[in-house]
Structure 1
Amino acid sequence: MRLNDCHNFHDFQTLARKRLPSPIYNYIAGGADDEVTLRANTSSFERCDLIPNVLRGVEDVDLSTTVMGQKIDLPVYLSPTALQRLFHHQGERATAAAAEKFGTMFGVSSLGTVSMEELAKKHSNPQVYQFYFHKDRGLNHAMMQKAKESGIKVMMLTVDSITGGNRERDLRTGFSIPFRLTVAGALQFAIKPMWGINYVTHEKFSLPQLDAHIDMKGDSLTIGRYFTEMLDPSMTWDDVEKMVAEWGGEFCLKGVMSVEDAKRAADIGCTGIVLSNHGGRQLDGSTTAFDQLDEIVQAVGDRIDVMIDGGVQRGTHVLKALAIGAKAVGLGRYYLFPLAAAGQAGIERAVGKLKEELVRDMRLMGCTSVNQLTRDMVKFK
Structure 2
Amino acid sequence: MANLDKITEIEDLRRIAERKVPRMFYDYVDSGSWTQTTYRNNETDFDRIKLRQRVLVDMEGRSLSTTMAGEDVHMPVAIAPTGFTGMMWADGEIHAARAAEKFGVPFSLSTMSICSIEDVAENTEKPFWFQLYVMRDKEFMENLIKRAKAANCSALILTADLQVLGQRHKDIKNGLSAPPKPTIKNILNLMTKPQWCMNMLGTKRHSFGNIVGHAKGVGDLSSLSSWTAEQFDPGLSWDDVARIKDLWGGKIIIKGVMEPEDAIMAAKSGADAMVVSNHGGRQLDGAPSSIAAISDVVEAVKAESSDTEIWLDSGIRSGQDVLKAISLGAKGTMIGRSFLYGLGAHGEDGVRKALEIIYKELDITMAFCGHTDINTVTDDILIKGSYEYLKSGRPMLEPIRWG
Coarse TM-score class (shorter-chain normalised)? over 0.9
Deviation by residue 1:80-132 (Cα, 9 ceiling, x = unmatched) = 11122211113111111111111110101111122323433543445110010
Query: What are the residue-to-residue correspondences of 1:308-319 with 2, within 5 Å?
Result: 308-319=312-323
Structure 1, 85-94 or 173-182: larger mean CA deviation: 173-182
Residues 217-256 of structure 1, C-alpha deviations (whole Å, 9 max, x = no match): 221122xx44430121011111111112332221111111
Q: Distance in 1 between matches of 2:322 and 2:288?
A: 18
Match of 2:43, as an amino acid?
Answer: T
Q: In structure 2, how many angstroms separate the alpha carbons of the residues matched to 1:211 and 1:174?
A: 20
1:264 aligns with 2:268: no
User: 2:361 matched to 1:360?
Assistant: no
Q: State the superposition RMSD in angstroms.
A: 1.9
Change (3 A) 1:247 1:294: same
Q: Distance in 2 between matches of 1:241 and 1:141?
A: 14
Q: Which residue of 1 aligns with 2:169?
A: 168
1:336 maps to which residue?
340
Q: Does 2:7 align with 1:6? A: yes
3-state DSSP class of the match of 1:306?
strand
CA contact (8 A) 1:172 1:182 kept: no
SS in 2 for 1:307: strand
Scaled by the length of structure 2, the TM-score of the pair is 0.89
Paired with 1:323 and 1:52, the residues of 2 have a C-alpha distance of: 14
Letter in 2 for 1:345: D
1:178 Cα offset (Å): 4.7
Aligned length: 379
How far did residue 331 of structure 1 move? 0.5
Aligned to 1:307: 311
1-structure distance, mates of 2:223, 2:62: 52
Cα distance in structure 2, aligned partners of 1:181 and 1:127 = 34
Structure 1: distance between partners of 2:22 and 2:264: 43
Deviates more, 1:44-53 or 1:24-33: 44-53
Contact 1:90/1:344 (<8 A) preserved: no
Per-residue CA distance 1:164-223 (angstroms, 9 max, x = gap)? 22111122222223534664344212222332232123224132222352126221122x
Give every structure 1 segment of 4 or more consecutive aligned residues whose post-TM-superposition deviation is greater than 6 Å: none
Match of 1:324 in 2: 328
Letter aligned with residue 219 of structure 1: S
5 Å matches for 1:207-218? 207-214=208-215, 215=218, 217-218=220-221
Gaps of 5+ in 1: none
Corresponding residue for residue 353 of structure 2? 349
Query: After the TM superposition, which residues 104-253 of structure 1 pair with which residues of structure 2 at under 5 Å, given as runs?
Result: 104-180=105-181, 183-214=184-215, 215=218, 217-222=220-225, 225-253=226-254
Structure of larger gyration radius? 2
> 1:115 and 1:172 mapped to 2: Cα distance?
28
Question: Are residues 1:373 and 2:373 paired?
Answer: no
Secondary structure of the structure 2 residue equivalent to 1:220: helix
CA distance in 1, matches of 2:165, 2:86: 21
Letter in 1 for 2:34: D
Structure-1-length-normalised TM-score: 0.94
- The 8 Å contact of residues 88 and 343 in structure 1, kept in 2 or not, is answered as yes
Runs (5+) with no aligned partner, structure 2 = 390-403
Give the Cα separation in 1 of the matches to 2:213 and 2:150: 14
Aligned partners of 2:90 and 2:205 also within 8 Å? no
Question: AA paired with 2:357?
Answer: K
Measure the CA separation in 1 of the matches of 2:237 and 2:229. Answer: 17
Distance 1:349 1:338, change over 3 A: same
Distance 1:298 1:125, change over 3 A: farther
